[in-house]
Copies of this chain bind each other. A is one copy, B any other.
Amino acid sequence: MTDVKRVVLAYSGGLDTSVILKWLRETYDCEVVTFTADLGQGEELEPARAKAELMGVKPEHIFIDDLREEFVRDYVFPMMRANAHYEGLYLLGTSIARPLIAKRQIEIARMVGADAVSHGATGKGNDQVRFELGYYALAPDIKVIAPWREWDLTSRTKLIEYAEAHQIPVPKDKRGESPFSTDANLLHTSSEGKVLEDPGAEVPDYVYSRTVNPEDAPDTPEVIEIGFEAGDGVSINGQPLSPANLLASLNDYGRRHGIGRLDLVENRFVGMKSRGMYETPGGTIYAAAHRAIEQLTLDRGAAHLKDELMPRYAELIYNGFWFSPEREMLQAAIDHSQAKVAGSVRLKLYKGGVHVIGRTSPNSLYSEKVVTFEDDAGAYDQRDAAGFIKLNALRLRLLGRRDI
């Protein structure tokens, strides 16, 4: 058994992490410091403070931080600059939150002189990897405690028995098995497990919590306009907004119009396939808008390179390698391309769909004069195309002469 003196626990205030809190003390005879982050998950955090106090955590060892702006500004937006979609579809809502939590946990560990950190992620999922790679990257010699991989509370019944045996209040709705589990933050809500475990069966309507059913969305489309500067969103319908406020506002639009639902079978880093349901209302709108403004302002060479690097970049985030040299290298390349990504995108929101209907930019590379079917007054000499094609064809012709 590792010797642990003081451990910083990522603490939600819920049943599971309360059990962990107790179990850590019992198992390691150590002091527990709780850390609860507001990432926009939409829950009150003060109850977590009350519960921690009730569990006997010293007031100065209870950390509750509003990380919403940092989350969107330094994690979501940089990721969106890459147009990152894991396996073509997933906007990485859970993946991108983990490194920030890990980073803050390590900062707190340094502040309070803790020698260990702990989290409530299970041994089958990606989150354990994301947390722990973050911990180790930022504090190579920190001790990491992952209770779900260590303890023998291997079923919900045992967990509840443990809670009851240790005077941890068990909310009524936690007594039975939850029909699925969720994770939420300002970017998305994910759901998985139980009722979702058959990838052939449609996700039941009650699983959705962040969006209306597209069928129940308004019958009239709504048009919004997102403004961008240097690759990041800065305004909606002309109103300047901070990163977190912008995303929150897009979440409202998305919720109302049933946007951003995703039923996915994905490949976890730990080796198995899982089926999840994601709701990323604002993020889905934002991603469409970002690509649209890039269409106008990014050169082809930059755009295609970004598209080629994207799958690797998304995989790194999904797998938990945010704090890695290769993610940072890719970020440097991506960020280098964004200086002139500015302008305005109009989108029509309707019944679950996001439709780009126009974009303008002071930095537009689109030249109506060059592209027009009309006489272009010498902007482009069509005869140049002959030579262009001839030299592009040369190697194919040499090949054809040999092989045909």
Cβ of A291: which chain B residues have Cβ within 8 Å of it? 88-89
Closest chain B residue to A194, Cβ basis: B373
Interface size on A, residues (CB 8 A): 130
B-chain residues with CB within 8 Å of residue A336 when the two chains form the complex? 325, 328-329, 332
The CA of A388 and the CA of B387, in the complex, are separated in Å by 5
Nearest B residue to A358, CB-CB: B200
Find out whether the CB atom of A400 lies under 8 angstroms from the CB atom of B136.
yes
Q: Is residue A386 contacting chain B, with contact meaning CB distance below 8 A?
A: yes
Q: Kindly provide the distance from the CB of A402 to the nearest chain B CB, expressed in whole angstroms.
A: 6
With A396-B133, A404-B140 as given contacts, are A325 and B301 in contact (CB-CB < 8 Å)? yes
Tell whether, in the assembled complex, residue A308 and residue B304 are in contact, meaning their CB atoms are under 8 Å apart.
no
Residues of B within 8 A of A60 (CB): none
Instruction: Decide yes or no whether A363 CB sits under 8 A from chain B.
Output: yes
Measured CA separation A139–B333 after assembly (Å): 24
Q: Is the CB of B368 within 8 A of A380?
A: no
Q: Mark A210-221, 1 if CB is under 8 A from B, else 0.
A: 000011000101
Q: Which residues of B sit under 8 angstroms from A381, Cβ to Cβ?
A: 387, 390
Copies of this chain, count: 4
Which residues of B sit under 8 angstroms from A395, Cβ to Cβ? 267, 271-272, 299-301, 365
Q: Is the CB of A382 within 8 A of B148?
A: yes
Given contacts A87-B303, A270-B385, A304-B311, 17 further A-B contacts (CB under 8 A): A88-B307, A129-B389, A136-B397, A137-B396, A140-B397, A140-B400, A140-B404, A193-B372, A193-B373, A267-B304, A270-B388, A273-B300, A332-B336, A352-B355, A364-B402, A365-B399, A388-B391
CB-CB nearest 5 A-B residue pairs: A387-B387, A123-B382, A271-B394, A267-B300, A384-B387
A: residues with CB less than 8 A from B are 83, 87-89, 122-124, 128-129, 132-133, 136-141, 146, 148-149, 154-155, 181, 193-194, 197-203, 214-215, 219, 221, 261, 263-267, 270-275, 291-292, 295-296, 298-308, 310-312, 315, 321, 323-326, 328-330, 332-337, 340, 346, 350-353, 355-360, 363-368, 370-375, 380-404
